[in-house]
Structure 1
Amino acid sequence: MVKIPKDLGDKDMFKGYAEKETFETMFLSGEEEPRTVIKNKIKEDLNTAYLTKDLQEKIGKLLLDLKMDLYKDGIIDYEIKVKKMGMDIVLSAAANKSKART
């Protein structure tokens, strides 16, 4: 009888083992991602659905310009606030107030 080595990991135990395809497993190979992952992707896509690649690039460039202007003014710690004003969406930078440590 062959001795079974101790303290093997899962990968080592199944090394060289090939599972035979059965009726149940042949349909699983073509299955894609689980539904929960697909639902999460749909939610993520809805957040950026209205922003084309061109628009994302323009917004990114303008935000970089804003960041550089704030840096020139000595403002490093800031946050971007988003407001809807009528038919416009306004992004504004607000400097974070530094908390005094005692």
Structure 2
Amino acid sequence: MKKIPRNLDDKEMLKGYKEEESVTDIFLRKEVREKEERTAAIAEQEEGLSMAGLTPPLIEKLSKELLQLRLELFAAGTKNCNKWKIRRNGHAVEIIAE
């Protein structure tokens, strides 16, 4: 049996030690990667909408209104509302759920 060295500081005691990767570490790393991907996708989407002249407050308001519309349609019995019809009427743009 090896003799235990005395009077070592923390750095010297942990020299050569490598921690094994746990399941928790794997899941945490996956969560971080997915969050970064979602953030990048949202930024890319907002970038596209800002090119259309929509500012972040307008994008947020539009998103809230569309969500409210989807909730009302769901309450009225429309279970799957993924198709939208968009048309221009003069100076107005209409978004109609199909």
Q: For this structure pair, what is the TM-score category when the shorter chain's length is used for normalisation? A: 0.3 to 0.5
TM-score using structure 2 length: 0.47
**The structure with more helix, counted as a fraction of residues:** 2
Q: Taking structure 1 as the reference length, what is the TM-score of the superposition?
A: 0.45
**Bigger RCO (CA 8 Å, 6+ sep):** 1
